[in-house]
Amino acid sequence: MLTPDDFIRALDWMGTVVFALSGVLIARRLQMDGFGLLVLASVTAIGGGTIRDLVLGIRPVFWVTQSHYLVLIVVTCALAIPLARLLSRAKVAWLLLHADALGLATFTAIGANKALSVGAPAIVAVGMGVLTGVGGGVIRDVLAREVPMVLCREVYATACIAGGIVLTAVHAWTGQSLPAMLGGMLTTWLIRLAALRWHWHLPTFGGLDPDESR
């Protein structure tokens, strides 16, 4: 019978595969070689979780003692390369955005739940959820010489914050990890998909003339 821990582990593996796939798709778009593709997939899949564990003082970081995460990344790369070649640029762009949204939601929930499991307060758990969700993508985009989505007008980190708040609230109410994670994950995912569908953006200060602010 599938236990809550088994389900959480399955979500973590799914997030690893999905984020690795998003790294592969960007590497394919930039015409990187095999090593560059593997690096981009790896930092996307485990970068956020690595930073999270370091901040929380968890040693060693998760993938050092659980090498199946690295195996998942390599297998994902091997399977995704021939499939990506069959897709048009438009389909790659669509798949990248939606794979990234699913990975974002999954890792936000994983990160917030892990912080709660080591006794972190709710506000720290929300921050760790955001860090886990966006950290790998930020590293990926920097290596790809692109402006990270979290620093643009995209409703991205905002979706993580909303999901983290829902997760910590449900966890405080029920005392159970699984419904809290599902609630947080669903919240982040739906907000991100809605932002993609209806082109939601955050306000910026880009149009403000410095002289006008005086």
- Cβ-based neighbour number of residue 48 at 10 Å: 31
Span 53-94, pLDDT tens digits = 999 999 999 999 999 999 999 999 999 988 877 777 788 788
Strand, coil or helix: 154: strand
Confidence of residue 1 (pLDDT cuts 50, 70, 90): low
DSSP letters for 40-52:
HHHHHHHHHHHHH
Higher pLDDT, 8 or 186: 186
Residue 46 near residue 63 (C-beta atoms within 8 A): yes
Mention every residue, 6+ apart, whose C-beta is less than 8 A from residue 19: 44, 45, 99, 100, 103, 107, 136, 137
How far apart (Å, rounded) are the C-alpha atoms in residues 62 and 124? 19
Strand, coil or helix: 201: strand
Q: How many residues would you count in the chain?
A: 214
Which range of 29-33, 40-44, 199-203 scores highest in mean pLDDT? It is 40-44
**Mean of the pLDDT values across residues 23-37?**
91
Span 120-167, pLDDT tens digits = 999 999 999 999 999 999 999 999 999 888 887 789 999 999 999 999
Closest CA to 201 of 163, 155, 161: 155
Q: What is the pLDDT of residue 210?
A: 46
Q: What is the pLDDT of residue 206?
A: 59
Q: What is the pLDDT of residue 188?
A: 97
Instruction: Dig out the tokens for 179 from the structure.
Output: 């419904």
Strand, coil or helix: 17: helix
